[in-house]
Structure 1
Amino acid sequence: MTSLLLGAPPGHATDDLAAVDEHLETFFTRAIARAGAHGDAYRRLWSATRDAAQGGKRVRPRLVLAVHRAFEGDDPASAVATAAAFELLHTAFLMHDDVIDHDDVRRGIPNVTGRFAAEAAGRGASAARAREYGEASAILAGDLLISAAHRMIAGLDVPFARREALLELVDECVFLAAAGEHADVRFTLGETPSAGDIVSMIENKTASYSFSGPLRAGAILAGASPDTVDGLGEVGAHLGVAFQLRDDVLGVYGEREVTGKTTIGDLREGKETLLIAFARADASWAAVSGRFGRPDLDEADAELLRAVITSSGAHDRVEALISGRCRSAIDLVERAGLPPALADELTEVARGCGERDR
């Protein structure tokens, strides 16, 4: 798998990522110490927030650093801070997403909601009140990290125009991610989204801050031309859609031992993915539609849903779209005149988005 998505980064990029982790650790250490003056509960909230930011593949920092390095950016400290800011955004969005989805576990351990709900329950709170406290804690933690990401960018010692462009970019990422999340939730209210609606949601909710934003940020920081910045944004949009569509496929067809995720969850939740949009258009969907989104969905019913998704051609159509998005990203990379090392790296990322199994 590609270095930017899953594998070890090449050469001195390992040191760059270590610097990002160090920057994040310094940020959280200071925040936790500052929070202590406002009581032990607030200090624990910041400690839980720091724990939530640990682990993961660091895809967004890798992209920022790779582009900045490829364009021979001369400010590694600012690149590290920008990469850290995107990781804080990512952590914040995960926290808010878990609240929206009523999840209390992330990466196999209790998330901020789960930790503070358990704490409240341990003090005798009812299950409902404990859940409210846990979710409120996670919302506040996410808000704090979004603010911190903006502050990190605002504090960069870079030319005014670059700092302003980066602040506008971060604001755009937050704006679009919220639009995508809002649409995703709206789709659960009984609205039947079109395939175009779902792709737009993915572009806003995932592609904007996970791929387009980091690629553009690294280029802005290195002083690349506006055309290059825009071109990398287009590449990122294709990569982000392919990445999320692969996630959706793995959520239904993946191997739990590999992905670490259940293959019933999305079907039980009634998640409106492109797989479902395509399957619903086939007459065979009517026979199983009542099972989709049932809280008590079991594996037998899930297998019936999978069978219809497959027989309707929905799975094949989504796979074709993933391949098409990856090809489009590679075509754009080849035409963009990027530094060869970056072009090779992004080509590998595109292939990885299409082929990954976790």
Structure 2
Amino acid sequence: MITVATAPATREAIDRAIGEALTRIRTRMGQLDASATALGAAIHHAAEGGKRFRPTLVVAAYESLGGSRDAGAVYPVAAAFELLHTAFVVHDDVIDHDIERRGVPNVGGEFRVRGRTLGADEKGAALLGDAAAILAGDLLLHEAIRLVALADVPAETRADLLALVDDAVVVSAAGELADVENAVAAEHGVASDAILVATANKTAVYSFSAPLVAGALLAGAPGTTRTTLSRVGGQLGLAFQLVDDLIGAFGAADVAGRGEGGDLREAKRTPLIALARESDRWPEVSDALARARTGPVAVRAAQHALAASGARERLERLVHETLAEARGLVLDSLLPDAARAMLLDLVDAVQARIP
């Protein structure tokens, strides 16, 4: 993950706003029954810790644009983007049939354990785990929208913020669905361009464009500034996700948050694989990928095959080109110096993640 330089007081205020929202969910669920109480606790666990990158972007954009109005709304709106992210992660784990995240049980994993303690068989425990995770994501989405809807801002600003959240949810959902559809389609049925679009839609809007524009809205920045931030955010988001794909294939375990080559072992159809399919060495790569799930030696063989096909080099070049475009947009803009510096730091941070 990447970080944004902020004062300790900013992180404390962000954590406090997120904590208050999570406490509200936990308190409401705790007023019902034991199962709801357990779900409230699991939601709290799912949203704990992390870099708080997306809410920090909201505050960083606000501050770098000289924000002085609507200051009381900055942190609740920032918190909404962290809850939105957590909701997507929880739902994504259901889609991917994952029961752990970074080595510990996720919401679905916790409720699988709960199901077994209640006497459920494996099928019943899995059903309960998936149901709990879907509902947890729904509650987090609701809370994110609720925070924005109740923000202490003028009605016009609130409408613009809600439109941002609406766009983030809709585009991310479309990207996730396209990603799954690409994964199940016939091997040669998906073009690399379609995979790139799905990749961008999954992350770029809700992780970069929307938080940056939200901060600009709260600062009272003009429409031209918001348009620039949205465009830069789109390029940053695409590059970020492409780097994530490189990390999923080539990154060390401590960076990827799971075993090395996880995407290769799971046979994910990422842009990296799409580029490899276009090379003359695809048959070799395909054979290597088919064996990658068998263990570390096979994973390394698949990594070597991908590199030999030129796919890794092509994807890295695409990342550099995308970041160069983002950098150019910033340098050619009329943004304040503080905002330009913040965005250029983001470009450098994304580039530094390339494994």
Question: Counterparts of 2:28 and 2:195 in 1: how far apart (Å)?
Answer: 42
Q: Which residue of 240, 249, 258 maps to 2:246?
A: 249
Q: Name the residue aligned to 1:45.
A: 39
Residue identity in the other structure for 1:28: L
Unmatched 5+ stretches in structure 2: none
Q: Name the residue aligned to 1:213.
A: 210
Deviating beyond 6 angstroms after TM superposition, the runs of 4 or more aligned structure 1 residues are none
Question: Counterparts of 1:148 and 1:206 in 2: how far apart (Å)?
Answer: 20
1:190 aligns with 2:185: yes
Q: Which residue of 124, 127, 137 maps to 2:122?
A: 127
Q: Name the residue aligned to 1:100.
A: 95
Question: Counterparts of 1:287 and 1:260 in 2: how far apart (Å)?
Answer: 28
Q: Which residue of 141, 148, 157 maps to 2:143?
A: 148
User: After superposition, what is the alpha-carbon deviation per residue over 1:199-243, rounded to whole angstroms, capped at 9, x for unaligned?
Assistant: 211221101100011011111111111111111011001101111
1:239 aligns with 2:236: yes
Between 1:263-272 and 1:100-109, the stretch displaced more is 263-272
Q: Which residue of 257, 261, 270 maps to 1:260?
A: 257
Between 1:251-260 and 1:35-44, the stretch displaced more is 251-260
Q: Which residue of 308, 312, 330 maps to 1:311?
A: 308
Between 1:189-198 and 1:101-110, the stretch displaced more is 189-198
1:203 aligns with 2:204: no
**1:1-358 maps to which residues of 2 (within 5 A)?**
5-6=2-3, 9-10=5-6, 13-74=7-68, 75-191=70-186, 192-292=189-289, 296-356=293-353
Question: Counterparts of 2:290 and 2:180 in 1: how far apart (Å)?
Answer: 14
Residue identity in the other structure for 1:47: A
1:120 deviates by: 0.7
Aligned partners of 1:269 and 1:293 also within 8 Å: no
Between 1:29-38 and 1:227-236, the stretch displaced more is 29-38
Aligned partners of 2:83 and 2:143 also within 8 Å: yes
Question: Counterparts of 1:258 and 1:272 in 2: how far apart (Å)?
Answer: 20
Residue identity in the other structure for 2:73: S
Question: Counterparts of 1:212 and 1:122 in 2: how far apart (Å)?
Answer: 43
Helix, strand or coil at the partner of 2:221: coil
Aligned partners of 1:118 and 1:130 also within 8 Å: yes
Query: Paired residues, what number?
Result: 352
Give the 3 Å change call, closer, same or farther, for CA 46–295 of structure 1 in structure 2: farther
Question: Counterparts of 2:308 and 2:22 in 1: how far apart (Å)?
Answer: 50
1:146 deviates by: 0.7
Q: What TM-score, normalized by structure 2, do the two folds share?
A: 0.95
Aligned partners of 1:269 and 1:294 also within 8 Å: no
Aligned partners of 1:271 and 1:293 also within 8 Å: no
Give the 3 Å change call, closer, same or farther, for CA 357–324 of structure 1 in structure 2: closer
Between 1:89-98 and 1:218-227, the stretch displaced more is 218-227
What is the CA RMSD across the aligned residues, in angstroms? 1.7
Aligned partners of 1:63 and 1:214 also within 8 Å: yes
Aligned partners of 1:71 and 1:339 also within 8 Å: yes
Helix, strand or coil at the partner of 2:281: helix
Unmatched 5+ stretches in structure 1: none
Question: Counterparts of 2:30 and 2:102 in 1: how far apart (Å)?
Answer: 27
Aligned partners of 1:180 and 1:204 also within 8 Å: yes
1:298 deviates by: 2.0
